Chain A
Amino acid sequence: MTRFMEEAAIESMAEKVGDIMRNAFVFNIDGVGVKGKDGQTIMDAADQAGIYIPRLCDVEGLEPQGSCRVCTVKVNGRPAAACTQPAAEGIEVENETLEIFNWRRDLIRMLFHEGNHLCPICEASGRCELQAMAYRLGIFQPAKYPYLQPVRPIDASHPDIMLDTNRCIRCGRCIRASKDIDGKNVFGYVGRGMHKRVGVNGKNLAQTNVHLDDRAIALETCPVGCIIRKGLGFFTPIGQREFDRAPIGSTIEKAVLKRGKK
């Protein structure tokens, strides 16, 4: 490396550090000051600060798409999805108000009533994010909305993997994981409106190049019990399942508590 290049590299690094400093700012979530920087969403900044904003379609490692709307917050009085809304200096974000709490409960109920979510017989029970979110938001019984009771075909064509889209909440996590991480495009949205669903790249799953090792199939990708691994059911005893131990979102809240204690 020539000296000139070294200098240039140091200069550019110094510039970058300067940028980071320059682009850091503070904004409020429910009146609490939170640090953010350019390029971060409200969700990113909140996670870092140990403030949990409920979400289903957004998950770490995938591009946010803002479709489930569970992360709706108010930004300077106007509703916005925290997972796609950029954080900005001085904004006032409302997260845990009664109004927003009720919207989120409505949205979670809509997802339950739109599909067929029979928790007692579902293999994902206990690690299901939809179920866990309902508990976190205090929904303990069915109410209010009619059940749409769809009859969607089950795709059991593949030797290792089964799809039961009756439990799908259209979060698109499998779609993004397959596309952006696996580079495979095994899944994709088809249909429109109520008939929008997750389809596969072929006549059925067996005709795709899906593999058990795909990120799209990983347990943490599907938040519900739609993507099922054959021969691997009810593998964790009741009481030890992910959300038996702590409510959804507590890892984000705890991470910061720990950091705070240090």
Chain B
Amino acid sequence: MGKDTVSVVRQACKKFDHEGSRILDILREVQKRLACVSGETMDLLAAELSTHRIEIEGLVSFYSFFSENRKGKIIIRLCDDIIDRFAGIERVAKVFSEELGIGIGETSSDWNFSLEFTPCIGMSDQAPAALINETVVTKLTPESAGVIARSLKKNLDTSALVKKKGDGNNADRLVNAMVENNIRKKGEVLLGDNVRAEAGLRKALKKKPEEVIQEVLDSGLRGRGGAGFSTGLKWSLARKAKDARRFVICNADEGEPGTFKDRVLLTERADLIFEGMTIAAYAIGGTSGIVYLRAEYEYLLPYLERVLARRRKAGLLGKNIGGEKGFAFDIRIQLGGGAYICGEESALISSCEGLRGEPKTRPPFPVERGFLGHPTIVNNVETFCCAARILDGGPRWFAAMGTAKSSGTKLLSVSGDCAKPGIYEVPFGIRVADVLDMAGADDPTIVQVGGASGEMLNRGSFYRKICFEDLSTGGSFMTFNSSRNMLKIVDYFLEFFIHESCGYCTPCRVGNVFLRERIQKIMEGYAVKADLDYLKDLSRTIMMTSRCGLGNTSPRPVLSSIDQFPVVYASLLGEGGEGLEAGFSIQKALEESRRIAKRSSMIYDPVYGGSSD
């Protein structure tokens, strides 16, 4: 074991005061400097942090951004969500692969490069995109991929890849990204020019905490992550819980495929987010705050840290905030490790505590016993922004927008086959058709609202409305034209869930694999009608018996596609005569034998004994 490893581990542990709950940060530091967290490093870390090696291994093997095997100095993570796939990420991947001489999942022999696929990185409006270490590269083409690969081979500096900076704060020295905001429609609540700095906080501090909660209740604000729980109710439950310490956590783990609105809020409305968190802290009696930032958005970290530092200096964080005696609150940013499940609030809390990102058993709910056992509220980035605006504009102003049960505006992240992908701030209740018009959708045939766990719609359903009463969404809105294969979309979503399931409970861990197997059977054309019943039955078991929201919703793309596109399914189903059905594909089963034998099958292949190469 090198001296280097020992000193890296010691320094990393020291940097975070050997704090067990900061182990994710420690691992990130070690991973960055050593390009892996090897078994020996795990032993060292366990000794240094007085824990067990198995705990460290549990973390390293859970989070995608850590690895036991050594990676390259530069890790190229190509976003392969469905939007990027349709936008040509495969061709981009081929260029990277050829230029660097490594396949997907491989590391170059000089330890300079690793090439990987990664789920949605929050750039669907500028797909295909990739992360090169922390640097985001967007709108990739085979040509630009070639330029990037050659530039990296000459010089391992990723900052040189940003030739033209994006708009707004993307051009800030500390962000320095080629990312574009793509704000297409500004609304009155979040993206308009009428957002007045700290107005909500100032007004809140003049009120009693109970009054602040009442205003949020009166506004009808519901969680913007997609589940739609009443924000005011969550806050009042946390306030009622008996404890000296309470926590305010902002969920910035935006991972739902096709969602990128939090990216824009974090870039352009950072102060508003922190303001909303501070108001929440005042309301519930919160003592500390955490922003859980997804690992993919690490490029925003230095900028966000600077905003926090400025707020501390201005007396907006720290002790006696805004001159309010006795009101102390501060915020730290916790970087994630690459796990979609951490967007689930109790899994997010586990992750903040330095544990595997697995949902916790409920009850108790986080508002009673959350982070480190203390009452905790977890709200979405957009929710905190809304709360700050409600305190400024008043609950009536907010409730006047939207529908009866979904007040206010909603940020939609529109992507896919349309002329103007980007962010649209629209009042709740807007019809799908109107969103498609605004975005200049090209021949919209399949629309997916709410991301992978959302609903798939056919043309006959475009009259439906986006609101909690009808189509609830965290903001993902993907449109596909008639050239797209509907089943490829369903298959991708299942692949995504299989990859992102934490594996804690049986139905989600295993059931999604079985769903995908049967969807592929349909795609391959040897399924029969009974397979649809099988899918529906299995879906129901998964949804009813899973432990958290992931498994409770993961079969939805299967069910909604069967409901909305029955003809597509029917066209792919065989007769299934005589009550017989194909249990497996003989061709598929033969593939391995062909590979091993290096020849084709004497019985099943058309050319007898010919080479399969």
CB–CB B502/A185 < 8 A: no
B498's contact among A79, A86, A144, A193, by CB below 8 Å, is which?
Answer: A193
Known contacts: A69-B545, A103-B544, A192-B339. The answer to whether A170 contacts B503 by CB under 8 A is: yes
- The answer to whether A69 touches B546 (Cβ under 8 A) is yes
Determine if B54 and A191 form an interchain contact, defined as CB atoms under 8 angstroms apart: no
B514 touches A146 (CB 8 A): yes
In the complex, the answer to whether B506 meets A110 with C-beta atoms within 8 Å is: yes
Complex contacts, A158 vs chain B, CB 8 Å: none
Given contacts A188-B58, A196-B503, contact A202 B545 (CB under 8 A): no
A72 at the interface (CB under 8 A from B): yes
Question: Inside 8 A of A64's CB, which chain B residues have their CB?
Answer: 361
Known contacts A69-B547, A72-B544, A188-B55; A194 and B506 CB within 8 A of each other: no
Please name all residues of chain A whose beta carbon is closer than 8 Å to the beta carbon of B534 when the two chains form the complex.
144
CB distance from A130 to the nearest CB of B (A): 11
Mark out the residues of chain A between 151 and 178 whose CB falls within 8 Å of any chain B CB in the assembled complex: 169-170
| A200 near B54: Cβ-Cβ < 8 Å | yes
Give the tally of cross-chain contacts (CB within 8 A).
121
Q: How far is the CA of A69 from the CA of B338 in the complex (A)?
A: 26
Residue from the list A79, A86, A111, A196 in contact with B545, Cβ < 8 A: A79
Instruction: Specify which chain B residues have a CB less than 8 angstroms from the CB of A258 in the assembled complex.
Output: none
A135 within 8 A of B: no
Contact pattern, B 489-505, Cβ under 8 Å of A = 1, otherwise 0:
00000000011111111
Q: Tell me the complex Cα distance, A9–B545, Å.
A: 46
Q: Is A40 an interface residue (CB 8 A)?
A: no
The reply to whether the CB of A116 lies closer than 8 angstroms to some CB of chain B is no
> What 1/0 flags go to A111-136 for Cβ under 8 Å of B?
10110000000000000000000000
| A188 and B514 form a contact (CB under 8 A) | no
Q: Does A221 contact B (CB under 8 A)?
A: no
Our pick among A66, A86, A103, A190 for the contact of B547 (Cβ within 8 Å) is A66
Quick check: B54 and A185 within 8 Å, CB to CB? yes
**Which residue of chain A is the closest to B517 with respect to CB atoms?**
A146
Verify if A189 is at the interface (C-beta below 8 Å from B): yes
- Select one of B57, B62, B498, B541 contacting A106, CB under 8 A: B541
Residues of A within 8 A of B62 (CB): 190-192
Assuming A194-B509, A200-B54, A201-B52, is B547 touching A67 (CB within 8 A)? yes
Once the chains are docked, how many angstroms separate the CA of A255 from the CA of B547? 31
Q: Given A146-B517, A170-B503, A201-B53 in contact, is the A190-B58 Cβ separation under 8 Å? A: yes
**Distance (Å) between the CB of B123 and the closest chain A CB?**
23
How far does the Cβ of B555 sit from chain A's closest Cβ, in whole Å? 13
Looking at chain B's contact residues, the main secondary structure is helix
A188 touches B510 (CB 8 A): no
CA distance A202 to B499 in the complex (A): 26
Q: How far is the CA of A69 from the CA of B546 in the complex (A)?
A: 7
Q: Which of the residues A86, A106, A114, A188 comes within 8 Å of B52, measured between beta carbons?
A: A188
- The minimal Cβ–Cβ distance linking A100 to chain B, given in whole angstroms, is 9
Any chain B CB within 8 A of the CB of A234? no
Question: Complex formed: what's the CA distance from A257 to B253 in Å?
Answer: 53
Q: Which chain B residues lie closer than 8 Å to A187 at the CB level?
A: 54
The residues in B between 501 and 553 inclusive whose CB is less than 8 angstroms from any CB of A are: 501-507, 509-511, 513-514, 517, 534, 537-538, 541, 544-547
A79 and B548 alpha carbons, distance in the complex (Å): 11
A79-B545, A193-B498, A203-B39 known; A107+B57 contact, CB < 8 A? no
Q: A111 CB to closest chain B CB, in angstroms?
A: 6
Contacts of B538 in A (CB 8 A): 106
Kindly state whether residue B363 has any CB partner on chain A within 8 Å: yes
For the complex formed, measure the closest distance between the CB of B38 and the CB atoms of chain A, giving whole angstroms: 11
Q: Looking at A84, A106, A144, which has the most chain B CB atoms within 10 Å of its CB? A: A106
Contacts of B510 in A (CB 8 A): 110-111, 113-114, 148, 194
Complex Cα spacing A148 to B541, Å: 19
Contact A86 B54 (CB under 8 A): no
In contact, B54 and A190 (Cβ under 8 angstroms): yes
A199 at the interface (CB under 8 A from B): yes
Q: Are A69's CB and B507's CB within 8 A?
A: yes
A72: chain B residues within 8 A (beta carbon): 544-545
Encode contact with A along B33-77: 1 for CB under 8 Å, 0 otherwise.
000000100000000000011110110011000000000000000
Closest to B547 in A: A66
Q: How near does chain B come to A81, taking the closest CB pair, in angstroms?
A: 7
Q: Complex formed: what's the CA distance from A186 to B55 in Å?
A: 10
- Nearest B residue to A72, CB-CB: B545
B29 to nearest A CB, angstroms? 21
Contact of A48 with B by CB under 8 A: no
Interface string of A38-80 (1 = CB under 8 A from B): 0000000000000000000000000011111110100000010
Is the CB–CB distance between A68 and B505 below 8 Å? Answer: yes
In the bound complex, how far is the Cα of B499 from the Cα of A67, in angstroms?
18
Query: Chain B residues near A169 (CB, 8 Å)?
Result: 506
Instruction: Please report the C-alpha to C-alpha distance between residue A114 and residue B510 in the assembled complex, in whole angstroms.
Output: 7
B356 interfacial contact with A, CB 8 Å? yes
Nearest-CB residue, chain A, relative to B64:
A192
Are A69 and B39 closer than 8 Å at their CB atoms?
Answer: no
B570 CB, min distance to chain A CBs, angstroms: 22
Residues of B within 8 A of A200 (CB): 54
Report the Cα distance A240→B517, complex, angstroms. 40
Q: A185's contact among B52, B509, B514, B545, by CB below 8 Å, is which?
A: B52
B455-514, CB < 8 A from A: 498-507, 509-511, 513-514
Query: Contact between A103 and B545 (Cβ–Cβ < 8 Å)?
Result: yes
**Residues of B with C-beta under 8 A to A259:** none
**By the criterion CB–CB under 8 Å, are B503 and A107 in contact?**
no
- Determine whether the beta carbon of A67 is less than 8 Å from that of B505: yes
Q: Is A195 part of the binding interface, using a Cβ–Cβ cutoff of 8 Å? A: yes
Q: Name the A residues within 8 Å of B509 (CB-CB).
A: 114, 170, 193-194, 196
Whether B546 contacts A195 by the Cβ 8 Å rule is: no
In contact, B544 and A79 (Cβ under 8 angstroms): yes
Interface: A102 (CB within 8 A): yes
Contact A145 B514 (CB under 8 A): yes
Identify the closest chain B residue to A185 (Cβ): B52
Bound: A250/B504 CA distance, A:
28
How many Å from the CB of B359 to the closest CB on chain A?
10
- Supplied contacts A69-B505, A170-B503, A202-B54, 4 more A-B pairs, CB within 8 Å: A69-B547, A103-B545, A107-B506, A190-B58
Residues on A facing B (Cβ under 8 Å): 64-70, 72, 79, 81, 84, 86, 102-103, 106-107, 110-111, 113-114, 144-146, 148, 169-170, 185-196, 199-203
Q: Give 8 CB contacts A-B under 8 Å.
A: A69-B505, A103-B541, A106-B545, A145-B514, A148-B510, A170-B506, A188-B58, A192-B339
Q: Which 9 residue pairs are nearest across A and B when measured between Cβ atoms?
A: A196-B503, A188-B54, A201-B54, A110-B510, A106-B541, A185-B52, A193-B501, A190-B61, A193-B503
